């Protein structure tokens, strides 16, 4: 095995005159034994020979396997590691990068930033999670912990940690309540559609009738609408970041095709006649000015011909429509709107999903129209909109097994 132990207090060779191994100039100063000569491993000093031998065995074996992790590299404070090594590798859409940065800056580094990577143990994490649960909702706390776990995984790849402390059995993540989406009754959606400003009525129609997200509605172009085939191609969305608008691909970076009911097609045709599309130019892929700019004729724009900003639309168009439809109270003069998150524009997408499933459409088809990466996600979110799930199978089995015997009590077959 490569590597050796050097005694730095006593000369290796004997003195030719005395025949003894004499003391070096370092005698009594610092650690006595140094382990050196292991490929890819920095020298390490120890006070006792036993410790030096143990290190030599472990480090030499790990070096040969390519698994050596120097504990000294893990002594770097979390803040330094994140800033100097981890942050530059974060990838994703601009909005995603911003959210990751907020989790680290606001919720991770203030608590753990001064602690060395190798010192963030299961004990430390249990206390941190308890604090986090008092500050954040369970779902957001899990997002923060996922980001922290990613930092540790990167540190393992960088040979600064041996294992991820977030994976310890005693480190329990906050539990999240069942992730069920809430939908409006169709009558409520119709009231809001009729109450919203005429110029923006089509936004409600497309979101409710085709399940588009708000940014996708804002990025819709007449070029995406195929009246002959009865479909809409969802190719882009308008996003807002740091006060700047930009075009980007739909969520998940994938375009998709959705079915367009005839009623939606009729409303779109009318809207095109009354409000011709306006060409809008924005950066593509992010808000930075140096980004490539692209232009598209947009179905929905402001009265000045600009792309819609979600924050302004929600405050000046959406919430007044909710109040006019009786969904939320009118805003008091000088005060903010009192609207809950469940009444945001996204509720139209949930209502669309509930209508589709209650009509008997398959989850696979709905997942494709919604742009979900897997039907499992659709089921997790919207299974409660399928009260009759299993009814067809039950009827088929009853037909197969024959009539119910007369002696069976009625209360047992009432289902």
Q: Is the confidence at residue 67, as pLDDT, over 70? A: no
CA 348, CA 214: separation in Å to the nearest integer? 9
Q: Which residues, at least 6 apart from 284, have a Cβ–Cβ distance to it below 8 Å?
A: 246, 247, 248, 291, 292, 293, 294
Q: Which of 177-181, 227-231, 334-338 has the lowest mean pLDDT?
A: 177-181
Q: Report residue 158's pLDDT band, with 50, 70 and 90 as the boundaries.
A: confident
Q: Report residue 415's pLDDT band, with 50, 70 and 90 as the boundaries.
A: very low
Q: Which residues, at least 6 apart from 156, have a Cβ–Cβ distance to it below 8 Å?
A: 69, 162, 163, 164
pLDDT for position 1: 53
Q: Is the confidence at residue 399, as pLDDT, over 80? A: no
Residue with tokens 């792309």, as numbered in its chain: 307
Mean pLDDT of 190-194: 96
pLDDT for position 249: 96
Cβ 300 vs Cβ 274: under 8 Å: no
Cα angle at 131 between 126 and 132, to 5 degrees? 95
Please give the residue that has the higher pLDDT: either 379 or 214.
Answer: 214
Q: Report residue 150's pLDDT band, with 50, 70 and 90 as the boundaries.
A: very high
pLDDT for position 68: 61
Residue 173's closest CA among 132, 124, 135, 121?
Answer: 132
Helices 347-358 + 375-382 axis angle, to 10? 100
CA 235, CA 249: separation in Å to the nearest integer? 6
Q: How far is CA 330 from the centre of its chain?
A: 34
pLDDT digits (tens, 9 = 90+) for 101-124: 999 999 999 999 999 998 999 999
pLDDT digits (tens, 9 = 90+) for 359-379: 888 888 888 888 888 888 777
pLDDT for position 190: 94
pLDDT for position 65: 65
Q: Is the confidence at residue 400, as pLDDT, over 50? A: yes
CA 220, CA 255: separation in Å to the nearest integer? 12
Q: Which residues, at least 6 apart from 42, have a Cβ–Cβ distance to it below 8 Å?
A: 70, 72
Q: Report residue 22's pLDDT band, with 50, 70 and 90 as the boundaries.
A: confident
Residue 164's closest CA among 140, 148, 144, 142?
Answer: 148
Q: Exposed (0-12), middle (13-18) or buried (19+): which is 290, by Cβ within 10 Å?
A: exposed
Q: Is the confidence at residue 98, as pLDDT, over 80? A: yes
What is the overall mean pLDDT for the chain? Answer: 87
pLDDT for position 224: 97
pLDDT for position 342: 87
pLDDT for position 154: 93
Distances in Å between the Cα of 78 and the Cα atoms of 61, 120, 123, 143 are: 28, 9, 16, 18
- Which parts of 11-103 fold into alpha helices (H)? 49-65, 78-81, 94-103
Phi first, then psi, for residue 321 (nearest 5°) are -70, -40
DSSP 8-class letter at 380: H
CA 103, CA 123: separation in Å to the nearest integer? 21
Q: Which of 58-72, 256-270, 393-407 has the lowest mean pLDDT?
A: 393-407
CA 200, CA 43: separation in Å to the nearest integer? 70
For 166, what's the count of Cα atoms within 13 Å in the CB-facing half-sphere? Answer: 18
pLDDT for position 406: 63
Percent of the chain with pLDDT over 90: 55
Domains, in order of start, for the chain: 4-68 (no CATH), 74-167 (1.10.150.130), 186-370 (1.10.443.10)
CA 353, CA 355: separation in Å to the nearest integer? 5
pLDDT for position 117: 92
Which run of H or of E encompasses 7? strand 4-7
Helix (H, G, I), strand (E, B) or coil at 6: strand
pLDDT for position 147: 96
Distances in Å between the Cα of 6 and the Cα atoms of 36, 62, 301 are: 8, 20, 76
For 341, what's the count of Cα atoms within 13 Å in the CB-facing half-sphere? Answer: 1
pLDDT digits (tens, 9 = 90+) for 262-275: 999 999 999 999 99
Q: How many CB atoms lie within 10 A of CB 344?
A: 17
């Amino acid at each position: 095995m490569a590597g050796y132990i050097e005694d730095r207090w006593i000369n290796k060779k004997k003195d030719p005159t005395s025949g003894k191994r004499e003391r070096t100039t370092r005698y009594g100063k610092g650690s006595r034994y140094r382990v050196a000569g292991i490929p890819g491993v920095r020298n390490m000093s120890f006070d006792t020979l036993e410790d030096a031998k143990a290190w030599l065995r472990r480090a030499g074996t790990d070096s040969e396997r390519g698994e050596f992790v120097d504990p000294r590299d893990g002594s770097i404070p979390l803040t330094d590691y994140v800033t100097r090594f981890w942050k530059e590798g974060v990838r994703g859409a601009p909005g995603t990068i911003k959210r990751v940065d907020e989790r680290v800056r606001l919720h991770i580094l203030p608590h753990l930033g001064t602690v060395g990577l190798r010192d963030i143990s299961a004990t430390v994490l249990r206390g941190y999670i308890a604090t986090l649960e008092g500050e954040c909702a369970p779902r957001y706390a899990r997002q923060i912990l996922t980001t922290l776990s990613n930092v540790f995984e990167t540190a393992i790849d960088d040979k600064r940690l041996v294992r991820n402390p977030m994976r310890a059995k005693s480190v329990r993540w906050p539990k999240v309540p069942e992730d069920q989406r809430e939908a409006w009754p169709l009558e409520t959606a119709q009231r809001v559609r009729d109450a919203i400003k005429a110029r923006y009525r089509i936004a409600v129609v497309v979101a409710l009738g085709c399940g588009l997200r708000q940014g996708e509605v804002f990025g819709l172009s007449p070029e995406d609408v195929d009246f002959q085939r009865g479909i809409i191609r969802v190719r882009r969305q308008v996003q807002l970041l740091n006060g700047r608008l930009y075009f980007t691909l739909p969520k998940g970076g994938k375009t998709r095709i959705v079915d367009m009911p005839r009623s939606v097609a009729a409303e779109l045709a009318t809207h095109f006649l009354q409000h011709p599309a306006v060409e809008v130019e924005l950066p593509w892929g992010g808000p930075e000015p140096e980004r490539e700019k692209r232009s598209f004729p947009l179905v929905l724009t402001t009265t000045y011909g600009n792309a819609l900003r979600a924050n302004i639309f929600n405050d000046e168009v959406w919430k007044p429509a909710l109040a006019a439809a009786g969904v939320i109270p009118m805003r008091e003069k000088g005060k903010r709107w009192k609207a809950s998150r469940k009444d945001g524009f996204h509720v139209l997408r949930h209502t669309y999903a509930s209508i589709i499933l209650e009509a008997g459409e398959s989850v696979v088809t709905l997942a494709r129209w919604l742009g979900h990466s897997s039907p499992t996600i659709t089921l997790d979110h919207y299974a409660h909109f399928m009260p009759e799930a299993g009814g067809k199978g039950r009827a088929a089995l009853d037909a197969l097994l024959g009539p119910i015997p007369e002696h069976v009590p009625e209360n047992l077959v009432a289902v």
